[in-house]
Structure 1
Amino acid sequence: MEVKIADFGLSKILCRTLDACNSYVGTCAYMSPERFDPDTYGGNYNGYLSDIWSLRLTLIELYMGHFPLLPPGQKPDWATLICAICFGEPPSLPEGVSEEFRSFMECYLQKESKKRWTAAQLLTHLFISKDLRISVS
């Protein structure tokens, strides 16, 4: 089985001449706190750090089997999502998760974008780098 993850923000780069590309795009459930409240969560918007937030939610959702910011089965509406993203507690991983994975996911848990790890930093984390060493050698 092969899993592919795409970032539709790339389409914004490819269609610079379209007026629609001057707006925010994305699924609001996966938008970072700074997209909703930039003054509180990071000042200037950084799309790369926002993608790190979205990736974190995606990874936790894949592990847990449901959207991690809401109880299983709850139908999200706009207000509920904003409150969960901006004011809710970060989702916690269930017991039984390896310490390496837990530590790796905590690098994503920062609501303030400037405290969130970059992609380059994440690639140096033991959870990722130990597997890279194995595949390279």
Structure 2
Amino acid sequence: MQQLRTLLEQMNVCAHELEKITQGEYEAIRSLNAERIIALSDHRIVAHQALAQLETSCRELMSRQGVDESLTLEIIIDLHAGKQTSDFQALRRNLYERIIKVDKNSQENHLRMHAAYNVSSSILQKLGLAKVEQTYGRR
């Protein structure tokens, strides 16, 4: 169970890092800081890859222990954590809530980014600094 705790704690660190990244993206989008947005996007990719690797390690650990793949982490903890069940469940819930928050914030940032792109493109087109895209009509 100590290996599982270590993996969950590492996943929690990755999720916390993703929270900081999404907050940074929010601020960069608001100020239209393209360099910062790109840097944070690259950092987000690395953090997501690390989180995915930890998830794979967790699944491999469960497989090595002979745990049925159909069991959820919640059930595995209830069955095997003993006196530490409440601590493990709190760690699991915290991680789950963080990941949901990161996903929600990432989706909102995606919408903000799209809106910022549309506004910027429109302004540049009206100033004559960008070509107006014409989907229909003669060319």
Structure 2-normalised TM-score?
0.24
- Which structure's residues are more often helix, by fraction? 2
> Using CA pairs below 8 Å that are at least 6 residues apart, which structure has the higher relative contact order?
2
> TM-score, normalized by length of structure 1?
0.24
